[in-house]
Homo-oligomer: A and B are copies of this chain.
Amino acid sequence: MKTVHVGILGLGTVGAGTAQTLLQQRDLIRARSGVDLVLKRAADLNIDRDFGIAFPEGVLTSDAGEVLDDAEIRIVIELIGGTGIAREFILRAFAAGKSVVTANKALLAVHGPELIAAATEAGVDLYFEAAVAGGIPIIKSLREGLVANPIREIHGILNGTCNYILTRMERDKVSFDEVLREAQDLGYAEAEPSLDIDGWDTAHKAVILAQIAYGIPITLDEVPVGGIRDIDPLDVAFAAELGYRVKLLAILRRLENTVEVGVQPALLPATHLLSKVDMSFNAVQVNGAVVGETLYYGRGAGSLPTASAVVADVVDVALNIASGAADRIPLQWAPNPPPQLLPVGERMERSYLRLPLRDRPGTLAKVAKVLGDRGITITALMQKEAHQAHEFIPVVVLTGEARMADISRALDELAAMSDVGEGIVRYRVEELSS
């Protein structure tokens, strides 16, 4: 039986859950994996709180140095978060020959390539299962379970707050603002919700998935990001009538010589399993060239679900250490030739359009001509009879696949027409194979 000492930096929600899991499941982990994980130190700036955890004598410390400078500690669990001191501590751990497990998606999305290079140089491990989709073992599945698969596509519902809001908007026909306020009252959403609802949290995870699945060291600023702040319940309802549900998706796709990576709200067929992922759950659908479609579902956040992934990483790294094989699986891989990121304008997308059209003869024909001139086909059209007099009537159009640059130009042209009112709405329509 090999003993591996570990230390935690940061005892917030996830840190406390991780400490609790390490202590409570020590026997189970020892029985299953053959390594004995000893939590030697857990550091937090404020240790005068009641964590509700029976820390053994001497484990709690307010000095991160007691983790980083302890030669016996071989694995540092970084759960401070943010891109500042966390980065410094991780680099210090690498320099001391320690491996690192982290749940810090923001740090990885911004400094991932730097950190991976530093870990590789030091010959240690950097594991981060908990950074994407919380307790769902999606990183392990991509890196190991699907290692023989060229990854064709990934569709991820990766932010529980957004999925909760969209589920409630559809189910209860309430507005975005109303659900958000309620979610904030219940503690499901942050007081400053932008990271979640504007898509940035999902984008962090998309960047990490792109590095794992495609070996491309992109960073956050290269990824087009959309959020759900402006979604109107009207469009959620129209989508439902057409057989679709609206989800905030991370979409990754391998094309000929390029990779598409982005975050945006999209309409998914209501019959597809991914569209049935409700409330605060996360799910990742992976289309591999050998295995076909696979899907992974579970809790994407929360103290214990995230701790489950953190501790699994710790066991993995401890097994590497115990067998003298740190850096067992390369942290970075480079496809040859490396694919380029697809420019947004080159993306091929189907579109859901809601067009406010003047209720007079010939308007629809003009709209169809503008779309047709750009090679954009109409696959479905829905216009409800107006029961009151309105200057503009909402007409919903689903289009075939078209280049985003062509769609943008067509929408500019439509917006300039006197028969088209203000507030054209557009969302991606994503058909999924299964």
Q: Which residues of A contact B (CB under 8 A)?
A: 21, 25, 27-29, 31-34, 129, 135-137, 140-141, 143-150, 215, 273, 276-277, 281, 288, 290-299, 302, 304-305, 307-309, 311-312, 315-316, 319-320, 323-325, 328-330, 333-336, 434
**A294 to B148, Cβ gap below 8 A?**
no
Enumerate chain B residues within 8 angstroms of A277, measured Cβ to Cβ. 273
Nearest residue in B to A135 (C-beta to C-beta)? B291
Enumerate chain B residues within 8 angstroms of A28, measured Cβ to Cβ. 148, 150, 335
**A312 to B31, Cβ gap below 8 A?**
no
**A291 to B273, Cβ gap below 8 A?**
no
Instruction: Kindly name the residue among A137, A323, A324 whose own CB sees the greatest number of chain B CB atoms within 10 A.
Output: A137
The 10 A-B residue pairs with the shortest CB-CB distance, nearest first, are A137-B145, A323-B325, A294-B298, A291-B308, A135-B291, A148-B311, A295-B297, A290-B308, A32-B333, A34-B330
Enumerate chain B residues within 8 angstroms of A276, measured Cβ to Cβ. 273, 276
A158 to B293, CA, bound (A): 16
Copies in the complex: 2
17 new A-B pairs (CB below 8 Å) besides A140-B144, A291-B299, A325-B325?
A: A21-B290, A25-B290, A28-B335, A34-B330, A144-B312, A146-B308, A146-B312, A147-B311, A148-B312, A290-B304, A290-B307, A291-B309, A292-B299, A294-B298, A294-B299, A324-B325, A325-B328
26 A–B pairs (Cβ distance < 8 Å), ordered by A? A25-B148, A27-B336, A28-B150, A31-B335, A32-B147, A33-B147, A137-B141, A137-B144, A137-B294, A144-B315, A147-B312, A148-B312, A149-B308, A273-B273, A281-B434, A288-B308, A290-B308, A291-B299, A291-B305, A292-B299, A294-B298, A295-B296, A295-B297, A295-B298, A323-B324, A324-B325
A330 to B309, CA, bound (A): 20
**A148 to B315, Cβ gap below 8 A?**
yes
Closest chain B CB from A308 CB (angstroms): 4
Enumerate chain B residues within 8 angstroms of A146, measured Cβ to Cβ. 137, 308, 312
A129 to B145, CA, bound (A): 9
**A144 to B316, Cβ gap below 8 A?**
yes
Select A297's contact among B21, B288, B294, beta carbons within 8 Å: B294
Enumerate chain B residues within 8 angstroms of A147, measured Cβ to Cβ. 29, 32-33, 311-312, 315
Enumerate chain B residues within 8 angstroms of A215, measured Cβ to Cβ. 31-32
CB within 8 Å for A294 and B135 given contacts A31-B336, A329-B34, A333-B31: yes
Instruction: Kindly name the residue among A276, A296, A307, A336 whose own CB sees the greatest number of chain B CB atoms within 10 A.
Output: A296
A137 to B319, CA, bound (A): 20
Enumerate chain B residues within 8 angstroms of A145, measured Cβ to Cβ. 129, 137, 140-141, 309, 312
Nearest residue in B to A323 (C-beta to C-beta)? B325
Enumerate chain B residues within 8 angstroms of A308, measured Cβ to Cβ. 146, 148-149, 288, 290-291
A294 to B298, CA, bound (A): 4
Enumerate chain B residues within 8 angstroms of A316, measured Cβ to Cβ. 144
A304 to B315, CA, bound (A): 31
Closest chain B CB from A141 CB (angstroms): 5
Closest chain B CB from A310 CB (angstroms): 9
Closest chain B CB from A150 CB (angstroms): 6
Enumerate chain B residues within 8 angstroms of A129, measured Cβ to Cβ. 145
A290 to B319, CA, bound (A): 21
Closest chain B CB from A329 CB (angstroms): 6
